[in-house]
Amino acid sequence: MTDQSTDWRDDLRHRFVELAATRDPAVRAQLVEAHLGLARHLARRFLNRGESYDDLFQVASMALVKAVDRFDPERGVAFTTFATRTILGELKRHFRDKGWSVRAPRRIQELYVRLGSSIAQLSQDLRRSPTIAELAADADATEEEVLEALEAGQGYRATSLEAPVSGGDDESLSDRLGQDEPGYQRAERRAELSPLLEKLPQREQAILALRFVEGLTQSEIAKRIGVSQMHVSRMLSRSLAKLREGCAET
């Protein structure tokens, strides 16, 4: 077996030398076919990230062809080492540049990835969905950046809920979802309401923030700002009516 393996490697080495000298398409095709197993192996490492295996294998195969064309057998580096770096680089670039159907700035893409971990961890720690302010503090970002990242994340090709997850026995992603994440919906609603909120008087904005951001009751708000609970109730009703009217007009 060792002799056969050595003969096989020697044959490949001779073919690379031949390709470098002749650029023969037939030799090139033989070398690509001989290393497709490497492309398959590396493509599988990127499964469960929102891309199908066929797409990943296509990217890896094209990178393999590029590696075969660029490889210099005289440099003393094993082809598998050279090809692995090339293929991994192309796969990572594919996710960075092609995974977003709507192109978002790099900083927003990276923040969106961080928010996924933040939402999971904070939901577990707080035993509830985190607010935008809490997400911003955990991700070291502003609330506006968090909203932008969550909105931009809708342009990413999401993984199918029926896609299998690693480490699970016939388990899909949907099996691991406890309930719908309301944070995304709140972020979307807040983005829609922001222009309308800015038109409200400062006092009404403050009361809305105390009620719906900090989660205070009407009694607590009344004590905080020094008015009656009935007055708070009326102001909330008036403010919400203005917002509903504004939403209906858009």
Mean pLDDT value across residues 77-84: 89
Token output for 76? 């003393």
Residue 204 C-alpha from the chain's centroid: 37
- The DSSP-derived string for 54-109 is HHHHHHHHHHHHHHHHH--GGG---HHHHHHHHHHHHHHHIIIIISBSS---HHHH
The pLDDT of residue 155 is 54
The pLDDT of residue 69 is 92
27 vs 124, more confident? 27
Q: Say which residues have a Cβ less than 8 Å from residue 162's Cβ, sequence separation at least 6.
A: 172, 173, 174
**Residue whose token pair is 């492309």:** 39
Mean pLDDT across the chain: 78
Task: Out of 11-25, 27-41, 211-225, pick the least confident.
Answer: 211-225
61 vs 187, more confident? 61
The pLDDT of residue 212 is 77
Contact 99, 70 (CB under 8 A): no
pLDDT digits (tens, 9 = 90+) for 131-151: 888 888 998 888 888 887 776
Task: Indicate the SS3 state at residue 172.
Answer: strand
If you classify domain 101-157 with CATH, what class do you get?
Answer: mainly alpha
The phi, psi pair for 67, rounded to 5°, reads: -65, -40
Taking the domains of the chain in order of start, what are their residue ranges?
2-98, 101-157, 199-249
Task: Indicate the SS3 state at residue 136.
Answer: helix
CA distances, 107 to each of 27, 30, 100, 140, 187 (Å): 43, 42, 13, 12, 19
Mean pLDDT value across residues 238-244: 83
CATH, domain range 2-98: 1.20.120.1810
The pLDDT of residue 11 is above 90: no
Confidence of residue 173 (pLDDT cuts 50, 70, 90): very low
The pLDDT of residue 224 is 87
pLDDT digits (tens, 9 = 90+) for 49-73: 667 888 889 999 999 999 999 999 8
Q: Above pLDDT 90, what percent of the chain? A: 17
- The DSSP-derived string for 182-247 is HHHHHHHHHHHHHHHHTTS-HHHHHHHHHHHTS---HHHHHHHHTS-HHHHHHHHHHHHHHHHHHH
Confidence of residue 184 (pLDDT cuts 50, 70, 90): very low
The pTM of this model reads 0.42
Q: Above pLDDT 70, what percent of the chain? A: 73
The pLDDT of residue 161 is 45
DSSP 45: T
pLDDT digits (tens, 9 = 90+) for 96-125: 665 555 556 777 777 877 887 788 788 888
Task: Indicate the SS3 state at residue 156.
Answer: strand
Give yes or no on whether 2-98 and 199-249 have one common fold: no
Number of Cβ within 10 Å of residue 140's Cβ equals: 10
CATH, domain range 199-249: 1.10.10.10
Q: Say which residues have a Cβ less than 8 Å from residue 22's Cβ, sequence separation at least 6.
A: none
